[in-house]
Amino acid sequence: MESGRPVWSPTPTEPAALPPLPAGFAEQPRGYTPPPWSSAPTSPGHRLAPTPPPAGTVPGRRRTSGRTAAAVLAFVVVAVGAGAGVWYLGGDHGSKGSGAGAVPSVSVSANSSASTASTASSSPSSPEATPTPTSSAASVPSGYRVAHDPVGYTLDVPQGWTRRQKQGEKAPVVYYDSPSDGRQLQIFALSEATPAESLDLAENDPGYGYAKQPGYRAEDRASGDTWAELSYRYDDTDRGARQVIDHRFRAADGTLYAIRSSGPESLAAGLVRGPSTIAVESFCPTDAACS
């Protein structure tokens, strides 16, 4: 055995020489196959140098043929024309500052013009376009007006009737007089405990009760929890035969009031009843909450 070599080690031999490669053929690593798009053989760990694009083209994009470019240009022209047409149809051609038939230059796209037209056509009208009458004006009957009386209440009275005031024994007495046919409204506060008590005293008091008047005759009586009413006729020494509706009630602030409606007996009963009913229904003391 040779010095330093194990007994089981084979005798070294020189590798057999490989046949030479064909001319022009670069040596490739074993097991490596170039990709089909590669223009030249590469070795692992090396990048291919990018192939420069043809002159006149944009990197990363394919060249567009002249026919395709013409089609795209035609579509843009049509889209712009369509947008201008929508603007013209929806615009205000008669506004000040623009000449007849003049269309200002605009920049639109097919999507933006369609969206603008859709928004304009679907916008609801403003609720403030139609004025709404106030509740007080809407509730006043035809031929009447709201009287804000300085004594301290409001009520509806016939239009054209004139106001006057006198001081009664316990409270001011307000009159609204018709200038044409002798009708009258008379309003004053009461001091009795209930409307029924006050009305009974007004009719039957031995000193000043209605029953003492000449020609007195009670026509009708009615009452409720917060009101009492008496209809009667009598002969006035100055104005002749009269018909009267005396309605006494508790107002919204708790105060008792009387509203007396009167007129010539020759008039239809409805001409005296109407002003009484409307005055009672609309009566409201100042600062009171009335329904």
pLDDT for position 139:
87
pLDDT for position 23:
58
pLDDT for position 12:
52
164 pLDDT exceeds 60? yes
Provide the residue range defining the domain that includes 242.
153-285
Residues 226, 232, 237, 238, CA torsion sign: positive
Per-residue pLDDT band at 140 (split at 50, 70, 90): very high
Task: Fill in the amino acid letter for 176.
Answer: Y
Helix (H, G, I), strand (E, B) or coil at 127: helix
Per-residue pLDDT band at 80 (split at 50, 70, 90): very low
Tell me whether residue 175 is in a domain: yes
pLDDT for position 128:
39
136 pLDDT exceeds 80? no
118 pLDDT exceeds 70? no
Residues in CB range of 214: below 8 A, 6 or more apart:
234, 235, 237
Task: Fill in the amino acid letter for 35.
Answer: P
Q: Does residue 247 or residue 103 have the better pLDDT?
A: 247
User: What is the per-residue pLDDT across 15-68, written as a single tens digit (0 to 9) for each?
Assistant: 555 556 555 545 544 444 455 544 444 444 444 445 555 555 444 444 444 554
- The total domain count for the chain is 1
pLDDT for position 60:
46
161 pLDDT exceeds 70? yes
Rounded to the nearest 10°, the torsion over CA 192, 198, 203, 206 is -20
Tell me whether residue 107 is in a domain: no
273 pLDDT exceeds 70? yes
pLDDT for position 34:
52
In whole numbers, what is the pLDDT of the chain averaged over residues? 72
Tell me whether residue 165 is in a domain: yes
246/230 Cα distance (integer angstroms): 5
Residues 217 and 196: beta-carbon distance below 8 Å: no
pLDDT for position 124:
40
pLDDT for position 170:
85
| Rg, C-alpha atoms of the chain | 54
CATH number for the domain including 177? 3.40.1000.10
Tell me whether residue 73 is in a domain: no
Helix (H, G, I), strand (E, B) or coil at 189: strand
Tell me whether residue 222 is in a domain: yes
Tell me whether residue 30 is in a domain: no
φ, ψ at 268 (rounded to 5°): -60, 145
Checking 113-120 for CB contacts under 8 A at 24+ apart, the result is 113/82, 113/83, 113/86, 113/87, 114/86, 116/86, 116/87, 116/90, 117/86, 117/90, 120/90
User: What is the per-residue pLDDT across 204-249, written as a single tens digit (0 to 9) for each?
Assistant: 999 889 999 999 999 999 999 999 999 999 999 999 999 999 999 9
198 pLDDT exceeds 90? yes
Tell me whether residue 230 is in a domain: yes
Residues 276 and 203: beta-carbon distance below 8 Å: no
Tell me whether residue 58 is in a domain: no
pLDDT for position 20:
60
280/277 Cα distance (integer angstroms): 5
Q: For the residues 182-205, what does the mean pLDDT come to?
A: 97
The enclosing H or E element of 205 equals none
